[in-house]
């Protein structure tokens, strides 16, 4: 069984992430979405909110599961029996960053390989930062996020929690 992990901050999940998730779900038997902390960023959404958005977005994909993890990514992959990490790359800067992390993760967990999927052209300019701006300025979120995740954000807005 080919098992892959797609890690990220997912703060929030975007249509660009979703494209990579759907492609990974075709390539692998099982895909775990791992919502983590990026040591260089302070997330806007809580871990539980990021997980709720990911879970809602991935609900139509039967072989995809979303979870939270606070440790090293390589340890999570080992616990799930994954042989692959999946990452989306939009440009050379992403590639350079991912290349370095792939080498580290493989040294932490021998046999754990990283598969880089190039972003589709329509998502080259997508980022969670951009989507957070759209949320802030009340733009139609379905253009930027999976619909189910956008519904989560609207619900939190109404509750006054966001
Ligand atoms: O969506 P992001 O912010 O680009 O995701 C980055 C993330 C969370 C995948 C990365 O920071 C990460 O892998 N963090 C886990 C910590 C870890 O395992 N570090 C060692 C490998 S570099």
Give the pLDDT band (50/70/90) at residue 160: low
With a cut of 80, say whether residue 83 has pLDDT above it. yes
Report residue 131 CA to chain centroid gap.
14
- Domain range list for the chain: 3-155
Q: Which atom of ligand 1 is nearest to the CA of 40?
A: 11
Q: Which of 88, 79, 143 minimizes the C-alpha distance to 116?
A: 88
Ligand 1 shell residues, CB under 6 Å:
7-9, 36, 38, 41, 72-74, 101, 104-105
Pocket test for ligand 1, best of 101, 107, 126 (most atoms within 8 A of CB): 101
Chain segment 5-61, per-residue pLDDT in tens:
999 999 999 999 999 999 999 999 999 999 998 778 899 999 999 999 999 999 999
Tokens of 45: 């959404």
Q: Is the pTM of this model over 0.85?
A: yes
Instruction: Point out the least confidently predicted range of 5-9, 38-42, 108-112, 137-141.
Output: 38-42
Contact 3, 29 (CB under 8 A): yes
The residue whose C-alpha atom lies closest to atom 13 belonging to ligand 1 is: 73
Pairing of the two strands 84-89 and 3-8: parallel
CATH 3.40.50.2300 is right for the domain spanning 3-155: no
Residue ID of nearest Cα to ligand 1 atom 22: 101
Q: Kindly report the protein residue whose alpha carbon is nearest to atom 11 of ligand 1.
A: 38
């Amino acid at each position: 069984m080919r098992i892959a992990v797609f890690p990220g901050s997912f703060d929030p999940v975007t249509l660009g992430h979703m494209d990579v998730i759907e492609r990974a779900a075709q390539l692998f038997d099982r895909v775990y979405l791992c919502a983590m902390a990026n040591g260089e960023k302070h997330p806007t959404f809580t871990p539980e909110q990021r997980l709720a958005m990911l879970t809602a977005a991935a609900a139509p994909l039967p072989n995809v599961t979303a979870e939270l993890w606070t440790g090293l990514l390589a340890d999570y992959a080992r616990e799930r029996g994954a042989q692959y990490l999946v990452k989306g790359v939009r440009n050379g800067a992403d590639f350079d960053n991912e290349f370095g992390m792939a080498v580290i993760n493989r040294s932490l967990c021998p046999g754990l390989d990283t598969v880089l999927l190039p972003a589709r052209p329509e998502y080259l300019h997508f980022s969670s930062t951009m989507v957070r701006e759209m949320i802030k300025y009340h733009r139609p979120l379905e253009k930027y996020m999976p619909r189910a995740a956008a519904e989560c954000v609207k619900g939190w807005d109404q509750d006054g929690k966001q």
